[in-house]
Structure 1
Amino acid sequence: MKFNKTLRNVIIFSLVALSCGWIGRLIDLQVGTDENGSVGQLIWLVSPFLSIVIIRSWMGDGWKDFGIHFRMKGNILLYVFSVFFFPLMAFVIVGISSGLGWTYISQSSSPYLAAFGMVLAPSFIKNIFEEFAWRGYMAPKLFKLGYNRLLVHIAVGVIWSAWHFPYLFLFIDTTESMSTYIPRMMLGVIVLAVLYGEILLMTRSVWPAVVMHTMGNAFIDTLILKKFIHVNEETRYMAMPSPEGVMAIALTGLAGLWIYKKRKIMIPRQSHSGFSTKGLNHIS
């Protein structure tokens, strides 16, 4: 019965996540405010989180595996990694692609730092809602059901990437066909789900994912959306430092593999302490 209840609740959460953005988009179109910062986008962003509050509070899932504690003791290096991974990845990709003539840097670093600082706090708040839905609910519940770790990461990545679809047009500026762009974007999000999910298993906390996601959004989105870098249209699929870029997918995949291997070494110690992949009852 417990297995069925948890699976039922995960399905309910997934249906809410897959539908809330389209509902928000419809509302935006009806009231004529189909733009960044709309009421529909607020519905899209907070609905998955609100659904887990209801599910955990009144549908039997409880709060034990919510990952709310910081658990910094013994995990400082993973927090440092979470802060610096995306900025370093962006430097590597922009450096390589600019050397190859695929990208050029259009503005100096001083206005960039100001623009980055302005979006840091809003990005952090936004990612509390997002990460405590995906890493704070869906991932631990699927792990608790005993599914294969890789399959859990893929399932979370697929639903998480599909959640982005209703408002995807606001965050990209490309002439590429969606038939090639969307599968590559989904692969990039699945790879991110592996990295975030493995760090969740290592730390038993959602906060490193919040930090990493915040730094990724603030650092990389500022570069792209504020036009600090310009990527040639014909090489965007390779050179974009965001999740749909081939180089970004490869580097994120390598980071996820490194965390995966690192955690395999630590499994005996974690099992001895009563923590395992199949039962995240003590992840909070």
Structure 2
Amino acid sequence: MFERLSDRTSSIVFTVLVLGISLCTADIAEGLVLAISPLLTVLVMLLVITREGYTREGWHRLGMSESGLRFWPLALITTAGVSVLAFAGAVVVGAANFITPSGDWLQAMLVLCVTGPILAFAEELGWRGYLQPRLAFLGQRCAMLVVGVIWIGWHLPYILLTPYYHAEGERPFVLALFSATVIAFSFVFGYLRLLSRSVWPAVLAHFAHNATFTILATYAITTDRPVLVNEYLAGDTGLFVLIGTAVCAFAIAVRTASLTRRRSLAPSARG
């Protein structure tokens, strides 16, 4: 056990471990071990490989001590809002129709509301809580990009080696859409983490995205072209979701840059 590791070394070890777990566990319990592997890897890094988890600062750096409450509306707009607009777009172009939920949808929603936040937390504590701050030496935008690339790599065994995730559609096209959308999400979630100094807005954003597209795709949309709607247009990483998320990421980046410039000019203006 090391007292601590440099951010560069920590990020490399974390990445090797989390990608290794992903590759080895993609088909175990329908991907459940893979889903919580970022959280498991954080615990290994903090409690086994280093002693950071035995100090208050080690846990504080994960961003769990602040709620980031003022950024929760932005988290919902850039995820749940984008998914709603994406499915609305699928309806507008005639690929799908909204329907009234029926059957046991309420029970399914309750299950989703219990398991969804847990799985979102398990991922975000790894990506935005642990890894992104340790990649800050690259520059914040580059850190978000690298986290996005690693996030894609972490998903690939689940997509390529199992039938559980993005198993339909033309594989090259699906992977291209998936990769581009994950990068866009990495910037949106990354900015939420950076601006709020908290991991919770990213957790909320992750859960809101997963829950909204699941609810809409399963209980609120009917279509005779499910692959077109759920894979290519409005599903988890469809084209409409990609466009909406990329626009949100760009808008947040521009706003953040503007605020940064104002703050940097404020002292000289007062002088």
Q: CA 1:236–1:269 in structure 2 vs 1: closer, same or farther (change >3 Å)?
A: same
| Closer, same or farther: CA 51–222 of 1 in aligned 2, 3 Å | farther
Post-superposition offset of 1:43: 6.1
CA contact (8 A) 2:95 2:229 kept: yes
The one-letter code matched in structure 1 to 2:178 is M
Structure 1's 221 and 130: CA in aligned 2 closer, same or farther, altered over 3 A?
same
Cα gap change, 1:36 to 1:17, in 2 (>3 Å): closer
C-alpha separation between the residues in 2 aligned to 1:137 and 1:113? 35
Query: Is the 1:104–1:229 contact (alpha carbons within 8 Å) kept by the matching residues of 2?
Result: yes
- For 2:235, the equivalent position in structure 1 comes to 241
The 1:124/1:234 distance shift into structure 2, 3 A limit, reads: closer
Q: Is the contact made by 2:38 and 2:123 (CA closer than 8 Å) also made in structure 1?
A: yes
Identity of aligned residues (%): 20
8 Å contact kept, 2:36–2:123: no
Q: 1:149 aligns with which of 127, 135, 140?
A: 140
By how many angstroms is 1:271 displaced? 6.5
TM-score, normalization by structure 1: 0.77
C-alpha separation in 1, matches of 2:93 and 2:113: 30
Identify the residue that residue 214 of structure 1 maps to in structure 2: 207
Q: Per-residue CA shift, 1:16-65, capped at 9, x if unaligned?
A: 11110222236x3xxxxx5365xx44664543332343356359993453
Classify 1:113/1:219 alpha carbon distance in 2 versus 1 (closer, same or farther; 3 Å).
farther
What SS does structure 2 have at the residue aligned with 1:171? coil
| 2:259 corresponds to 1:266 | yes
Partner residue of 1:24?
25
Structure 1 counterpart of 2:11? 10
Cα distance in structure 2, aligned partners of 1:138 and 1:172: 26
Q: How far is the alpha carbon of 1:138 from its aligned partner?
A: 1.0
Compute the TM-score of the two structures, normalised by the length of structure 2: 0.80
Gaps in structure 1 of 5+ consecutive residues: 29-33, 273-284
8 Å Cα contact 1:86-1:220 kept in structure 2: no
Q: Which consecutive residues of structure 2, in runs of 5 or more, have no partner in the other structure? A: 266-271
1:137 aligned partner: 130
Structure 1 residue 132: Cα displacement:
0.9
C-alpha distance in 1 between matches for 2:216 and 2:7: 41
Q: Retained in 1: the 8 A contact 2:187–2:249?
A: yes
Root-mean-square deviation (CA, aligned residues, Å) is 3.1
Deviations 1:230-249 (A, max 9, x none): 4543465542232x211111
Distance 1:227 1:108, change over 3 A: closer
Question: What is the number of residues matched between the two proteins?
Answer: 255
Cα separation, 2, equivalents of 1:239 and 1:182: 13
